[in-house]
Structure 1
Amino acid sequence: MKRRNFIATAAVGSAGLASASAMAASQGQTKTFKLKHNINHSVCEWCFNDIPLEDFLKTLNELGVKAIDLVGPDRWPILKKYDIHCSMCNGAEIGLAEGWNNPKYHEQLIKNYTEMIPKVAEAGYTNLICFSGNRNGMNDYVGLQNCVNGLSQIMPLAEEHGVVIQMELFNQVNHPDYMCDNSLWGVELCKHLGSDNFKLLFDIYHMQIQEGDIIRSIQNYHPYFGHYHTAGVPGRHEIDETQELYYPAIIKAIHDTGFTGYVAQEFIPTWDDKIQALKDGFMRCDI
């Protein structure tokens, strides 16, 4: 066999075997679905919002997953009906681009969060999401100080009610110009606020694209991370062998820090059976 032909043939054969192995592994994982619950699992509702919420909550109960992310107060009664915890509440923010780094939004944001924080606590929930907003030409240091000035006005209320305000980290590919786009900026904001009731929502997908070195970031900055989101890179799809991150190692690193919060699946499923894809994701994160 000529070398060129051999390499081409071998490559095709290897790809076929790899694809078959990946499919077999995924099928094996979903067939024997049983969670250890060393990790508190959750899932972002918006990724599966083509499934009626009540049907989706019934499925989560069947899977033994007792939490869901990014549901606002208008639908909390449905969560209560199915005994599903809201592990990350929303509804106080203005938008991703209009956030705490711009003083012109402070009055509205302070009003929104002042009203929402007691509602979150009364419902028995803990985490409430927030966003930095876009730069729009603003210096990062100025934006950080603006965030401190605004957030400082709601932190006493959050502390009083036991609510944790969590700012999400985004990448510049999906969210161009967003200010809180790296761990160091977010950690510096946490340090300036100096409250255990302010944390970062560390989105693994976003930070792999933006800065990489995911496990080192978790090990170095975990005291400032209050919540985690998952998704495959590239594409924000399943966290299986079709993408570049090895989630079992990442989740082990999170677990090794003593983290007791939630890890929420936030991938957009491409499988025909979306629930099977979700089960596969949970199993890969169930160390």
Structure 2
Amino acid sequence: MATFSANLGFLWRELPLPDAIRAARRAGFDAVECHFPYEVSTEDVRAALSETGLAMLGINTIRGREAAGDNGLAAIPERQEEARAAIRQAVDYAAAIGAANVHVMAGKAEGEAARRTFVENLLYATELARPHGITILIEPLNHYDAPDYFLTTSAQAAEIIDAVGATNLKLMFDCYHIQIMEGDLTRRIEALMPVIGHIQIAAVPDRGEPDHGEVDYRHIVHSLDAMGYGRPLGAEYRPAAGTDASLGWMTVLKSG
């Protein structure tokens, strides 16, 4: 049976993070994940996780200077010092709350210098994360939601993972982004399974609840069951009318 992680970057955004964790537990989620928890104390997050028994699957490195349009830093050649500071911040926070993964955001860049910088920073991140048992994730983003983002396809991500050569570097396979950019989700998941560290879901093309649109997630769940994938799927969608009112999809996907 499928299990699910609530992405608290999108779900229960009106609540403080510790209360959102509690809301996810009451709603029947099996784990949680979030984007940028850094304004909340690690003690408060850890207490909510302990109270609910939920695992925090992952957090992101910061975007950078958001007012200037930053969407990550790790592939920008002239900002390597900032990128590594963001990596240290994320790994330290993840270690303090027991989070399993850190998504290192690449940022807006292009070309060979950007690729080389991204590889170097991922080597730094994986070495920093390894003693804590933390996996580093990279995620291709679609060019509608994330214009000019460096990492856009699963093949590009797989090549970079191979170039870094670290056992704790994996692919965040977001079905929403990859359906928009590439499609053929079932075959791509099967081919990339050895390097997949986490899978996320949302409707395409509106990023709403995963119960409508181009992708039949019942098929995705059945295919993952057949492949022996047993980890929670990340629900990273924008609820149309509030999170609590949006959760009917979970009952359907859990029941098969």
Q: TM-score, normalised by structure 2?
A: 0.85
State the match for 1:244 in structure 2: 214
Distance in 2 of aligned mates of 1:113 and 1:250? 32
Q: Specify every segment of 5 or more residues in structure 1 that has no aligned partner in the other structure, as ranges.
A: 1-37
Letter in 2 for 1:277: S
* 1:230 counterpart = 2:201: yes
State the match for 1:258 in structure 2: 228
State the match for 1:132 in structure 2: 106
List aligned pairs for 1:175-190, cutoff 5 A: 175-190=146-161
What whole-Å deviation, never above 9, does each CA across 1:136-194 have from its counterpart, x for those lacking one?
xx32x443222112221232221222111111221011111112110000000110111
Secondary structure of 1:173's partner?
A: coil
Secondary structure of 2:88's partner?
A: helix
Identify which of 201, 207, 210 aligns with 2:178: 207
Letter in 2 for 1:46: G
Q: Which stretch shifts more, 98-107 or 201-210?
A: 98-107
Secondary structure of 1:256's partner?
A: helix
* 1:85 counterpart = 2:51: no
Distance 1:270 1:246, change over 3 A: same
* 1:65 counterpart = 2:29: yes
Q: How many residues align?
A: 244
Secondary structure of 1:109's partner?
A: helix
Q: Which stretch shifts more, 72-81 or 154-163?
A: 72-81
Distance 1:146 1:52, change over 3 A: closer
| 1:53, distance to aligned residue in structure 2 (A) | 4.3
Distance 1:99 1:82, change over 3 A: same
Distance in 2 of aligned mates of 1:158 and 1:55? 28
Q: Which stretch shifts more, 145-154 or 256-265?
A: 256-265
Letter in 1 for 2:193: H
Q: Specify every segment of 5 or more residues in structure 2 that has no aligned partner in the other structure, as ranges.
A: none
| 1:91, distance to aligned residue in structure 2 (A) | 4.5
* 1:276 counterpart = 2:240: no
Q: Percent identity?
A: 24
Give the conservation status (yes or no) of the 8 Å contact 1:98–1:105.
no
| 1:131, distance to aligned residue in structure 2 (A) | 1.4
Distance in 1 of aligned mates of 2:100 and 2:62? 14
